[in-house]
Structure 1
Amino acid sequence: MESRQMAARIALAIILALAAGWIGFAFIPAVLWAGVVAVAVDPLRRKMLGRLPGHHATVAGILTAAVALLVVVPLAMALTSALLEARGIAAWYAATTANGVPVPAWLSHIPWASERAIVWWQTHLSTPEGAAEQLRRLNADTILAHTKVVGQNVMHRAVIFGFSMTTLFFLIRDRDEVVQQLRLGATRAFGPAGERIGGQILASVRGTIDGLVLVGLAQGVIMAIAYAFAGVPHPILLGLLTGIGAMVPFGLLVVMLVALTLLLIKGAIVAAVVIGAFGFVLNFVADHWVRPQLIGGSTSLPFMWVLIGIVGGVETIGLLGLFVGPAVMAASILVWRDFIDRQPASPPQPGTPPAPANP
Structure 2
Amino acid sequence: MPPFAYSNQARDLLDVLIRAGLIVVLVLFCFEIFRPFLNLMLWSVILAVTLYPLHRRVRARLGGHDGWSATLLVLVAVVVLLVPLTLLGASLVESVEKSVGLVRSSDFRVPPPAASLAGWPLYDTWLQASTDLTGAMQRFAPQIKAALLLALGSLAGLGIGLLIFIVALIIAGIFMAYGELGNRSAVDIASRLSGPEKGPQIAQLCTATIRAVAMGVVGIAFIQMLLVGVALVIKGVPGAGLLALAVLLLGIMQLPATLITIPVIIYVFSTEGFGTVPMMFAIYVFIAGLADNVLKPLLLGRGVNVPMPVVLIGALGGMVTNGVIGLFIGPVVLAVGYQLFWQWVRDQPQPAGPDH
TM (norm. structure 1) is 0.68
Q: Which amino acid aligns with 1:233?
A: V
> CA 1:80–1:52 in structure 2 vs 1: closer, same or farther (change >3 Å)?
same
Tell me, in whole angstroms, the C-alpha distance in 1 between the residues paired with 2:17 and 2:119: 78
**Shift of residue 235, structure 1, vs aligned partner:** 8.6
Partner of 1:18: 28
Tell me, in whole angstroms, the C-alpha distance in 2 between the residues paired with 1:46 and 1:312: 33
One of 89, 96, 103 as aligned partner of 1:79:
89
Q: How does 1:1-359 map to 2 (within 5 A)?
A: 14-95=24-105, 97=106, 99-101=107-109, 103=111, 113=117, 124-125=129-130, 130-136=132-138, 137-138=140-141, 153=157, 157=161, 160-161=164-165, 163-191=167-195, 192-217=197-222, 219-220=224-225, 223=228, 233-234=237-238, 237=241, 240-241=244-245, 243-252=247-256, 256=260, 259=263, 263=267, 286=292, 291=296, 295=300, 298-299=303-304, 301=305, 303=306, 306-318=307-319, 319=327, 320-339=329-348, 342-349=349-356
**Shift of residue 35, structure 1, vs aligned partner:** 0.9
Q: Which amino acid aligns with 1:315?
A: L
Q: Give the fraction of aligned pairs with identical amino acids, expressed as a percent.
A: 17
> CA 1:61–1:149 in structure 2 vs 1: closer, same or farther (change >3 Å)?
same
User: Do the aligned residues in 2 keep the contact of 1:37 with 1:168 (CA within 8 Å)?
Assistant: yes
Tell me, in whole angstroms, the C-alpha distance in 2 between the residues paired with 1:91 and 1:204: 47
Q: Which amino acid aligns with 2:194?
A: F
CA RMSD, Structure 1 to Structure 2 (Å): 4.9
Partner of 1:357: none
Which of the pair has the greater relative contact order for Cα pairs under 8 Å at 6+ separation?
2
SS in 1 for 2:54: helix
Equivalenced residue count is 325
Deviations 1:66-105 (A, max 9, x none): 344455444432331233234423442343x3x452749x
Tell me, in whole angstroms, the C-alpha distance in 2 between the residues paired with 1:323 and 1:12: 33
Stretch of structure 1 that moved more, 11-20 or 51-60: 11-20
**Shift of residue 200, structure 1, vs aligned partner:** 0.8
> CA 1:121–1:14 in structure 2 vs 1: closer, same or farther (change >3 Å)?
closer
Tell me, in whole angstroms, the C-alpha distance in 1 between the residues paired with 2:226 and 2:148: 35
Tell me, in whole angstroms, the C-alpha distance in 2 between the residues paired with 1:213 and 1:242: 14
Tell me, in whole angstroms, the C-alpha distance in 1 between the residues paired with 2:211 and 2:149: 40
> CA 1:265–1:88 in structure 2 vs 1: closer, same or farther (change >3 Å)?
farther
Q: Specify every segment of 5 or more residues in structure 1 that has no aligned partner in the other structure, as ranges.
A: 350-359
**Shift of residue 193, structure 1, vs aligned partner:** 0.9
> CA 1:29–1:269 in structure 2 vs 1: closer, same or farther (change >3 Å)?
farther
User: Do the aligned residues in 2 keep the contact of 1:225 with 1:235 (CA within 8 Å)?
Assistant: no
User: Do the aligned residues in 1 keep the contact of 2:88 with 2:233 (CA within 8 Å)?
Assistant: no
User: Do the aligned residues in 1 keep the contact of 2:89 with 2:241 (CA within 8 Å)?
Assistant: no
> CA 1:152–1:212 in structure 2 vs 1: closer, same or farther (change >3 Å)?
closer
Tell me, in whole angstroms, the C-alpha distance in 2 between the residues paired with 1:7 and 1:124: 68
Stretch of structure 1 that moved more, 241-250 or 187-196: 241-250
> CA 1:259–1:37 in structure 2 vs 1: closer, same or farther (change >3 Å)?
farther
User: Do the aligned residues in 2 keep the contact of 1:219 with 1:242 (CA within 8 Å)?
Assistant: no
Q: Which amino acid aligns with 1:208?
A: V
Stretch of structure 1 that moved more, 242-251 or 154-163: 154-163
Q: Which amino acid aligns with 2:50?
A: A
Tell me, in whole angstroms, the C-alpha distance in 1 between the residues paired with 2:213 and 2:124: 50
User: Do the aligned residues in 1 keep the contact of 2:256 with 2:289 (CA within 8 Å)?
Assistant: no
Partner of 2:322: none
> CA 1:146–1:297 in structure 2 vs 1: closer, same or farther (change >3 Å)?
closer
Tell me, in whole angstroms, the C-alpha distance in 2 between the residues paired with 1:198 and 1:330: 11
User: Do the aligned residues in 2 keep the contact of 1:233 with 1:262 (CA within 8 Å)?
Assistant: no
Stretch of structure 1 that moved more, 249-258 or 164-173: 249-258
Q: Specify every segment of 5 or more residues in structure 2 that has no aligned partner in the other structure, as ranges.
A: 1-7, 320-326
